């Protein structure tokens, strides 16, 4: 088992730029020995996971294995039973309320369910985190919200629409705009392309990849979408039996002999996605 203390940036050290692909990559989030449960039910036990700066980490696992629970536990929304979680080098159990609020400004979240407030327009939704964490004029709030809305690939006229007037793809983009509101360093996306048609999903994937490159974002993406796993994820972690079954690039997943991973990555959907990825590579 790896020791987090050696890899995590300590508070005294300056944060280093993205070094994805190098041996000593900076760990933005380190999870060790995590145990989470509800009542008599244990959802995860002894779970270890690192998220490196600058990477797009795809997170897979069967339905109900705890992907959303892990995300919410890292965000501090679910209480863990045991283990440590370090975020930007700080143990979240050892920081003050004020420090936690500062942390919350450094991440953005696109939740699996209830992505937007239905009574607010898209622009108001995007402004919510800014109103909560920053003090700025209405003019600036408007200006920044419009920038985020465009960044997420939405037409400016979507800003004054309510979620009920938007398509599924537009809602995901609006939720992404809100996740980007505070210029986060890391975004958590819980199944961002579920419910989108394949073209909409592919466009969303391209958007994530572009944002990751241009903003230097770190992305933690829960997904069932094989195309996303092949085309945009630098690394994949698979959750099952309450722990990480395997983690690494797609090749590691394809070589795994764990029955669930084999079934998942050697199934029909995976083979189709692999074929697409090869064709896309040949076209470049
Ligand atoms: N607040 C809660 N109280 C009790 N049980 C919960 C709670 N939240 C989640 N669970 C349970 O934890 C387990 C993991 O749920 P989770 O939503 O994380 O699954 P998931 O891997 O995200 O699944 P999916 O792919 O369907 O989204 C499920 O059995 C779920 O019923
Ligand atoms: Mg989920």
Torsion angle, alpha carbons of 89, 79, 243, 46, to 10? 70
Percent of the chain with pLDDT over 90: 73
Pocket of ligand 1 (CB under 6 A): 38, 43, 61, 63-69, 112
Q: Is the pLDDT of residue 23 over 60?
A: no
Predicted model pTM = 0.87
Q: Are 135 and 144 in contact (CB under 8 A)?
A: no
What CA–CA distances, in Å, run from 260 to 64, 179, 245? 14, 32, 9
Q: Which of ligand 1's atoms lies nearest the C-alpha of 69? A: 18
Determine the pLDDT at residue 198. Answer: 85
| Higher per-residue pLDDT: 128 or 197 | 128
* pLDDT tens-digit map of 225-236: 888 898 899 999
For residue 96, the number of C-alpha atoms closer than 13 Å in the C-beta half-sphere is 2
- Residue with CA at minimum distance from ligand 1 atom 9: 69
Q: How far is the CA of 112 from the centre of ligand 1 (A)?
A: 11
Alpha-carbon gap, residue 71 to 67, rounded angstroms = 6
Residues whose Cβ atom is located within 5 A of ion ligand 2? 67-68, 112
> Which CATH class for the 26-106+184-283 domain?
alpha beta
Lowest mean pLDDT among 100-109, 169-178, 186-195, 264-273: 264-273
**Residue 283: pLDDT band by 50, 70, 90 thresholds?**
low
* pLDDT tens-digit map of 106-124: 999 999 886 799 999 999 9
- Residue with CA at minimum distance from ligand 1 atom 30: 64
Q: Where are the domains of the chain?
A: 26-106+184-283
Buried b (16+ CB within 10 A) or exposed e, 193-206: beebeeebbbbbbe
Alpha-carbon gap, residue 18 to 249, rounded angstroms = 18
Residue 77's closest CA among 121, 109, 44?
Answer: 109
């Amino acid at each position: 088992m790896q020791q987090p203390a050696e890899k995590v940036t300590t508070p005294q050290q300056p944060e280093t730029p993205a070094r994805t692909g190098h041996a000593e990559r900076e760990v933005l989030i380190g999870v060790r020995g995590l145990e989470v449960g509800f009542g008599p039910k244990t959802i995860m036990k002894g779970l270890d996971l690192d998220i490196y700066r600058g990477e797009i980490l795809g997170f897979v696992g069967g339905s109900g294995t705890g992907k959303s629970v892990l995300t919410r536990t890292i965000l501090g929304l679910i209480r863990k039973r045991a283990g440590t979680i370090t975020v930007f080098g700080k143990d979240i159990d050892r920081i003050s309320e004020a420090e936690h609020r500062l942390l919350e400004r450094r991440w953005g979240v696109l939740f699996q369910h209830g992505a937007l407030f239905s009574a607010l327009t898209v622009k108001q939704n995007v402004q919510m985190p800014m109103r909560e964490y920053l003090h700025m004029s209405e003019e600036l709030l408007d200006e920044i919200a419009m920038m985020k809305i465009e960044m997420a690939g939405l037409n400016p006229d979507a800003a004054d629409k309510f979620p009920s007037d938007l398509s599924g793809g537009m809602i995901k983009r609006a939720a992404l705009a809100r996740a980007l509101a505070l210029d986060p360093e890391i975004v958590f996306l819980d199944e961002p392309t579920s419910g989108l048609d394949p073209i909409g999903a592919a466009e969303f994937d391209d958007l994530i990849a572009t944002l990751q490159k241009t903003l230097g974002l770190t992305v933690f993406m829960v997904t069932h979408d094989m195309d996303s796993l092949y085309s945009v994820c630098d690394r994949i972690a698979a959750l099952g039996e309450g722990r990480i079954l395997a983690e690494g690039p797609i090749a590691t997943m394809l070589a795994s002999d764990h029955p669930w991973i084999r079934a998942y990555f050697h199934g029909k959907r995976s083979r189709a996605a692999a074929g697409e990825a090869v064709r896309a590579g040949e076209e470049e």
